[in-house]
Amino acid sequence: MKVAVIGTGYVGLVAGACFADSGNEVVCVDHDPAKIASLKKGEIPIYEPGLEDLVSRALERRRITFTTETAEAVRSSEVVFLAVGTPSRSDGTPELRYLKAAVEQVARAMEEGKTGYRVLVNKSTVPVGSQQQVSDWASAATSQPFDVVSNPEFLKEGTAVDDFLKPDRVVIGTSSDRAYELMAQLYAPFVRQGNPILRMDAVSAELTKYACNAFLATRISFMNELSRVADAFGGDIEWIRKGMASDQRIGRHFLYAGVGYGGSCFPKDVSALVTQARSKGLSVGVVEAAEEANRTQRDYFVSLIEKAYPKGVSGLVFCIWGLAFKPNTDDMREAPAIPVIAALRAKGAKVRVFDPVAMEQARHWIAEGEDCRYSSSALEALEGADGLVLLTEWNEFRNPDWSEIKRLLKQPRIIDGRNIFDPALLKKHGFQYVGVGRR
């Protein structure tokens, strides 16, 4: 099938590459000429495991092309995915101007090219009612026939390729049989093992995406709140987590206490659900509380650092391991490292930061300066520091050489924002260990 993907970011590029890998002819469009120029050379502008191989294979087999020209892509493709960003506005509502611009470009191309029937697919996370909204925008610019389908994406950065190729489910929101048949054909290679394609109405599909992210964010916030209770009573959140996770009704995912959730999805989708419910006069108190708990968890974590230094953190130097909002990505959007480092700097501390892949991205979010230095290795960042603060649980940080760390640090203190280290082991090595909700 011939497929166009408008927006070649974390979602669009993965979707395009995976559709190409399953035999389709894919045109990926982005209005950023630099991004398209590097993609044409097989250079991947983001860090996502497995993606580079997939894209180079598709390029070799001539199944994927990259362009800045929406019209060219729409003329040749029956299915057009919209995968542009929908970031939060300052009031928490989703910013839809990229989506509107993309839809208008697509519709104009349909009109000019007299393309005939097209399926426009909302792959971006969009507010409830967007299927109708996209349909209205498109109708205003073209008289060519089309359907709009809601097909929210559930991939996780860091395992995006795998998630896309083996989705837990595919949600397709449409009342059109013709559009559904095309979508089902496109996704057939990814659901051969019985993982379902769930056909539903578009509003339910749109809400499903927000429901999933808000629910997962709520689980994390619940554990973060509980970690404070554990701290207050001298319990250990890791034991509590294990006790909960082995209950099959609860399950083991998204139960980790730490510095709070971040990334390009949870914070904005939680806010979007809250503001959309409010627009109907509803309050989603549980979700609002999850949002609030996430905000306060960062302050709580900074207070844990301060507690470890009774004379105050002003003038101290902290080594920060991990900047990306989670491991295996270079995505810095809403990374907890940003507010935590800002708070330490505001309190007069200095930081030396290191992340295995997000250093370049991080520079756009965390300004280098006299009180913030980017280090070239994890060990270099430790030299002479008053403590190690772990903010992202990259694998390479999990089992470090503790004797070397002890030698490099000025004060043997470890503040573990992801609870990945073993407090007993660190005690044995002579460190003072602070975790989140750890005994």
User: Which residues contribute to the site for ligand NAD (CB under 6 A)?
Assistant: 6-12, 29-32, 35, 70, 83-86, 98, 101-102, 105, 124-125, 153, 155, 157, 264-265
**Residues 18, 265, 319, 372: which is the catalytic one?**
265
State which residue, 11 or 381, has the beta carbon closest to ligand NAD.
11
Residue 412 C-beta-side C-alpha neighbours within 13 Å? 13
Which one, 65 or 227, has the nearer CB to ligand NAD?
Answer: 65
109 in helix, strand or coil? helix
Q: Which residue has the tokens 């989708």?
A: 269
State which amino acid sits at residue 357: V
Mutual orientation of helices 202-233 and 285-308 as an angle, nearest 10°?
Answer: 40
Q: Between 70 and 208, whose beta carbon lies closer to ligand NAD?
A: 70
User: In what order do the strands lie in the sheet containing 350-354?
Assistant: 372-374, 350-354, 317-321, 387-390, 413-416, 432-434
Gap between the Cα atoms of 348 and 82, Å rounded = 45
**Any residues with CB less than 8 A from the CB of 151 and at least 6 apart, and which?**
81, 121, 122, 123, 170, 171, 172, 173, 183, 205
| Shortest reach from residue 106's CB to ligand NAD, in Å | 9
In whole angstroms, the minimum distance from the beta carbon of 94 to ligand NAD comes to 8
At 147, is the secondary structure helix, strand, or coil?
A: strand
Q: For the chain, what's the residue count?
A: 439
Closest chain position to ligand NAD (CB): 9
- Residue 138 CB, shortest distance to ligand NAD, in Å, is 14
Least gap, CB of 68 to ligand NAD (angstroms):
8
Task: Answer yes or no: are the C-beta atoms of 215 and 270 closer than 8 Å.
Answer: no
Residue 80 contacts by C-beta under 8 Å, 6 or more apart in sequence?
3, 4, 5, 6, 73, 74, 106, 118, 119, 120, 121
Residue 98 or 215 having the CB closest to ligand NAD: 98
From the CB of residue 424, how many other CB atoms can be counted at a distance below 10 Å? Answer: 9
CB of residue 430 to ligand NAD, shortest distance in Å? 40
> Is 372 among the residues known to form the active site?
no
- Residue 174 C-beta: closest distance to ligand NAD, Å: 18
DSSP, res 357: S
> How far is the C-alpha of 284 from the C-alpha of 287, rounded, in Å?
6
* Percent of residues in the chain assigned helix, strand, coil, to nearest 5: 45, 15, 40
Compute the least distance from the CB of residue 87 to ligand NAD, in Å: 8
Residues 6+ apart with CB under 8 A from 415: 304, 305, 308, 387, 388, 389, 390, 434
Between 24 and 328, name the residue whose CB sits nearer to ligand NAD. 328
The answer to whether 42 touches 55, Cβ cutoff 8 Å, is: yes
Locate tokens 């890998």: which residue? 21
What does R_g of the chain's alpha carbons equal in angstroms? 23
Give least dist CB 385 to ligand NAD, A: 32
Catalytic residue numbers read: 265
